[in-house]
Every structure is written in C-alpha cells, then in structure tokens.
C-alpha cells in the first residue's frame, strides 16, 4: 500500500549524514514535532537528481523555510557517505541528507521503483511531501521519467 495524505510516516531506521559521520535515526522520531519538506531522488549523482532536483531545493530553501518549514530533507537509496559527499558537492547546509541504503523507508512508504534495467536495483521513486508532526499533509509522486510535481517550486506552491 502506498502512503497517502493523512497517513503517519512509517517508523524505520534511516541514517542521517552528519559532519561527524553517519548517525542512525528513527523516522518516527525525526519527523515528530516539526514540519519537514522531504524529497526523494532515485540516486545521488544521477542526472536529473543532480542537475535539477537537489539544486532546486538548495535555491528555494530560504523561501520554503520562510513558509513555516522547520527542515528540508532529502532521501535516496544510497549510503550516508555518498549522500554526504553529494550534499558537499551540490547541496547546502540547509538540506539534511537521510540515507535509505536498504530501501527500508521507501518500501514502507510503498514508493519503490525497479531500476535494475539501469543497474540500480530497487530505488525510491521521485517524490516530495510535506510531513507535519509525523503525518503526510502533501504528497507529490512523479510519473516514471517525469520531473514536475516533486520539484521545489511545486512544493513551495503548496505551502
């Protein structure tokens, strides 16, 4: 079953990328008590993710936070070291990287995709959402190959 607006975020272990190294976090704890703009990419360093998705959230981070968002987070089926390196190369301190190395989070959300045709295996679909105190209040899932509704601009229009 795919997560829907009004649903609680499933409780799984993610790995937060920090300057001190990887830090395990429970998703239920991470999303509790704050408003989070979350976006998911199929993979760090992949073309659309690096050219458009992450840069859009970097460029719009102050506008998104000005609309009442406490934190902006990015998740991908990558390890925390890759997520940290990608954020250093193309991101900003305004983006929290949440590694979902085993795809546990996207599986629990019901938002996986099969990237095996490209040698990627199980990945997360491209999406964005607003999570308010652990509950999904906006959900934007892209059609395969598209980049429209998960963009920072679209999410900003929903705030």
List residues with catalytic annotation: 49
Residue 28 backbone dihedrals phi, psi, to 5 degrees: -60, -40
Q: Are 82 and 107 in contact (CB under 8 A)?
A: no
12-48: buried (b, 16+ CB within 10 Å) or exposed (e) per residue? Answer: bebbbbeeeebeebebeebbeeebbbbbbbbbbebeb
Closest CA to 64 of 156, 158, 132: 156
């Amino acid at each position: 079953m795919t997560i829907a607006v009004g649903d609680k975020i499933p409780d799984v272990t993610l790995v937060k990328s920090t300057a001190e190294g990887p830090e395990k976090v429970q998703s239920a704890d991470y999303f509790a008590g704050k408003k989070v703009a979350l976006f998911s990419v199929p993979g760090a360093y992949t073309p659309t993710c690096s050219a458009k998705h992450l840069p859009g959230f970097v460029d719009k981070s102050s506008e998104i936070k000005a609309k009442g968002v406490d934190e902006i987070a990015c998740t991908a089926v990558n390890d925390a070291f890759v997520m940290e390196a990608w954020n250093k190369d193309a991101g900003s301190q305004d983006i929290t990287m949440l590694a979902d190395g085993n795809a546990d989070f996207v599986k629990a959300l019901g938002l996986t995709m099969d990237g095996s045709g490209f040698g990627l295996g199980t990945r997360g679909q491209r999406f964005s959402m607003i999570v308010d105190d652990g509950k999904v209040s906006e959900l934007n899932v892209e059609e395969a190959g598209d980049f429209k509704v998960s963009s920072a601009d679209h999410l900003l229009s929903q705030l």
